[in-house]
Every structure is written in structure tokens, then in C-alpha cells.
Amino acid sequence: MKNKNLFLLLLLIFFTLVSCSGDDGGNTPDPGPGEGPVDPPPAAAQPLDLASYSNGSGVMMQAFYWDVEPRHGWWDLLSEKVDDWADAGIDRIWLPPASKGQSGGYSMGYDVADYFDLGDYFNHQTTETRFGSRAELDNLIETANANGIEVIADIVLNHNSGGGLEWNPYREKETWTLFDEEHGNASGKFNRNYENFYPNSTSPYDPGSLFYEETNLDHNQQYVQDWLWEKDYSVAEFYKNEVGFDGWRFDYVLGFEPWVVKEWLDAVGGFSVAELWDGNPDVLEAYIEATGAGVFDFATFYKLEEAFDRFDDLTYLTRHMVWQNYPDKAVTFTANHDTEKDSHEDNKIAPENKLKAYAFILTHPGYPTVFYLDYENENFQAKLDQLILIHNTIATGETEVLYVDDDEYVMKRNGTSSNPGMILYINTSGNVKARANIQTNWNATPVMDYSNSIDFQTSTGSDGKVTLRAPANGYAIYSIME
């Protein structure tokens, strides 16, 4: 009998330990009220008014996708949205390349022909760009700025397209390198010919380009530098001082040397982010150091894809990412116009994992970007609005990972003396998870989930420890109640 009682006692202790940890490889049933040291909050406890907090942060909206519709009406459509975006906490919008491209009214702007034609000239079979007229662009920028939103220009600095044919002695054939008023450059500003592209008399080599190789601009030439950023008539000065752009997204910076971006920023300043498509954080950090520009944090993007999709292992979320060392220069994202059209599954995050990925970037350091099509998804928008609110208010202070395994990730932002901070709990298992003994900064304090993902409130102990829950295949974000 004594041996039987001892066996039952040991069995009871075993199941108690399992229920408190909630970590059983994803097979934990929905925790009941008695599982773990869960203390209900006082009846009088109320949610914080998050709108009364501000940590000085904002979020950028990528305000386009490939082949946007309606053609010629995009600037007007965005003008109708910026007021709501500002209310949601968006402080910058990134626009597609605004200048006329070879594809005319069908161009997404990356086949740039005339840097100074923003819908002003009849050029490439159209006056308006795919996105609209110059007047409509001006109205969009004015409307955005009136709502406290900066407007970021997408700048294509290396490859050109849409010029006229001319004999090119350096390639010993005809090339489409003649850009003037009659050949694709209706503004007559920054006219170009074969001498301005690799190879030429001053640069007798061809560094190569993934795009329009024969019209890869030679930035070593003073003429090209003058027209792009150095002189008061340059593209940079035109976009900043006449059009009113507030900053720059540099397209395909692998196509030219880092000093080009540095000199551009030295000349005109402004917010900046470079598209250096490389998942190696060391490469991205070296670019930050060489240019002073921000970068899209592809290291984080690929760690999110690996954690949620490719390997289904949340420990990848603790590996090296740019925001860890350069939080002010890392522009984090979960999707963009290129990743969403890429057919390779490792270059995109699956739709069913998008919100968990957004929960990560909108609670961690770095400057997050929301992709237009994700925000317009009716199943995402309210949840993204809440995540943006959390990002701009209580997602502040030092970052500390409290627990991680293959299907659970618990992270704390320590807040400040006047801001409580928050705790993110991601769960990729098929069941509700509970994790006990999470160490908070809140002693004997009621807490709740502010992401509206799980209906759960509790209180921390006098030592600040608490048991928290996360919904199946989802996330919760906890902070104090009043």
C-alpha cells in the first residue's frame, strides 16, 4: 500500500510539472483556470488607454504592389487613404518610382527613362504615368504632409531604359543609349548618350548589371554626378526641393558602389533605406557603416520565413539580425512588391504566418514596414491596426528573450519609468499554450492581452512572476491594467 501511495504521489507531481510548463511539443490542451499559478485580476482593473502613451515611433506603409490598379488613378486613390493611415499610426509612405518609364502608362517606374517627367510630358505614348499626373502627385504629397506623413521616393540610380538607338563604338554595335527630347527624355534634362554608360572613354570596363546591362550609368563621371545629386538642378534637388519628397528608397544598390548613396545623402539628406537583397546581417551592417543609410533588414525577413515556414522552429528568431545592432537603421518587413510576386517559396512568408511575423516586427526594435496588400486584406487590417498601436505606444525599452523553443517564443520589452512595456508570446502549435514563471517587471499587478488575440487576464505575483497564455498558432501581447 505504501509503495502504491508513493507511486501515485510521484505521478501527481509529474503531471503538475507538465501542466505548469505548458511545453509538451504542441499537445497541451486548452489550459484551465486552475493550471499554473494564475491569479485573477481585481474586478476594478481596467485596460490601459494605449492612445495616451507614445514612444515616438511610427510605421512605414509600402503604398503599392506590382501592377497597381487603377492605372492613372493611383495617386488619387492613395490621397483618399492617408488620413486613415495617419490615424492608424503610419508616419511615412513609400511610393513607387514616380518618373516616366519606357513602358509608359504601364510602367511601374523601374524602367526609368526620364527622371524629370513625373507626368508632365507626352512621352512613351502617355502624359500621365501609370500612377497619375504630376498635379495628382503634388496633391498626394501635400495631403500626406498635412496628415503628418512623410513621403519617400523610390530612386533607380543605375539602370535606364527607353532611349533611342545609336552606334556605340565601345560595344561595336547599336545600343539604346540615346536619351534626349526626341528619344525618351522629353524633359530635355539629364540628356545621355553612350559616353554616360559602361563601358566608355573614362571607364573602359563593364561591371555588369542584372537590368538593362547596356544602359548601366557610370557614376564615376562628373556629368552623371552633377545631374543625379551634386548640382542645384540635379534629380535629388528636384525631388526634394521642388516636388517635396522627404526621403529615399534606393533601388538595387548592388548595381553601384556604396559611395554613391553616401554622396547623395551628404548632398541632400533625408530619411533613407537601401534595397540590398542579402540575408547576411554582416553584409547589411557593413553597408550601413559605409553609407550612413538605413537598409531593409533582409536578415530578419529570412529568419521569420525560416522560423514560421521553412523549418517551423522559433529558435531562429534569436539569431543575428540587423535590428539587434542597428535598431535605428534596420527597416524591418514581412513582405514587399518583389517577395510577393516571387515564385520561390523561400522568398516569401506564407499568408497563414503573416500576422505572427508582423507581431514580431511590430514589437521588436527596428523601423517596421507594412505592405499595402497585407493592410488591405480584410482579415488582417483590424489586427494590424492594433499591432501598429502597440508598436507606437508600449513596444519600448530593452529587449529580452524570456523563453524560446521550437513552437514558443516569449520576449519582453522592459519599458521606461513612464511606460510599462510589454511581453510578446508567440505560439505556433495547434493548441493554446500556457507558460508559468514568466518574469515580468510588474509586481502584484493585473495584466491582459492587448492584441485582442486571447480573452485572458491575470495578475503577477509579488515577485513579478506570472503564467501567461497564447492562442493556438497565434500570438498575445501582454501589459499591465490600471
Whole-number pLDDT of residue 41: 83
Residue 137 near residue 127 (C-beta atoms within 8 A): no
**3-class SS string, 129-181:** ECCECHHHHHHHHHHHHHCCCEEEEEECCCECCCCEEEEECCCCEEEEEEEEC
For residue 391, what pLDDT is reported? 98
153 forms bridges with which residues in the sheet? 248
Cα separation of 219 and 203, whole Å? 10
Residue 435: closest CA among 480, 478, 397, 395: 478
Give, to the nearest 10 degrees, the angle between helix 258-268 and helix 281-291: 40
CA distance 77 to 75: 5
The reported pLDDT for the residue numbered 210 is 87
Rounded (10°) angle between helices 298-305 and 281-291: 160
pLDDT at 37: 53
Interval 109-152: pLDDT, tens = 999 999 999 999 999 999 999 999 999 999 999 999 999 999 99
**Cell matching residue 400:** 529580452
Query: Phi then psi for 278, rounded to 5 degrees?
Result: -150, 125
Q: What is the pLDDT of residue 166?
A: 98
Query: Which residues partner with 93 through β-bridges?
Result: 61, 151
All three cell numbers of 72, joined, read 492613372
Please give the grid coordinates belonging to residue 361.
516586427
Handedness of CA 269, 361, 399, 282 (dihedral sign): negative
Q: Quote the radius of gyration of the chain (alpha carbons, Å).
A: 26
Distance (Å, whole) CA 320 – CA 161: 38
The number of helix segments (H) and strand segments (E) in the chain equals 13, 20
- Nearest to 427, CA basis, from 452, 454, 391: 454
Is 189 exposed, middle or buried, given 0-12, 13-18 or 19+ CB atoms closer than 10 A? middle
With CA atoms as reference, report the closest residue to 130 among 110, 157, 109, 155.
Answer: 109
- For the stretch 37-41, contacts whose Cβ atoms lie closer than 8 Å and that sit 24 or more positions apart, written own/partner, are 37/436, 37/437, 37/461, 37/465, 37/466, 37/467, 38/458, 38/467, 39/458, 39/459, 39/460, 39/461, 40/457, 40/458, 40/459, 41/446, 41/447, 41/448, 41/457, 41/458, 41/459, 41/481
User: Which residues in the chain come in under a pLDDT of 70?
Assistant: 1-38
All structural domains of the chain: 22-51+399-480 (2.60.40.1180), 53-393 (3.20.20.80)
Nearest CA to 336 among 272, 271, 251?
251
Phi, psi angle pair for 267, to nearest 5°? -80, -40
Q: Compute how many other C-beta atoms are within 10 angstroms of the C-beta atom of residue 391.
A: 25
Cα–Cα distance for residue pair 60/289, rounded to 1 Å: 23
* CA within 13 Å, CB half, 296: 26
Average pLDDT over all residues of the chain:
93
Q: Which DSSP symbol is given to 320?
A: -
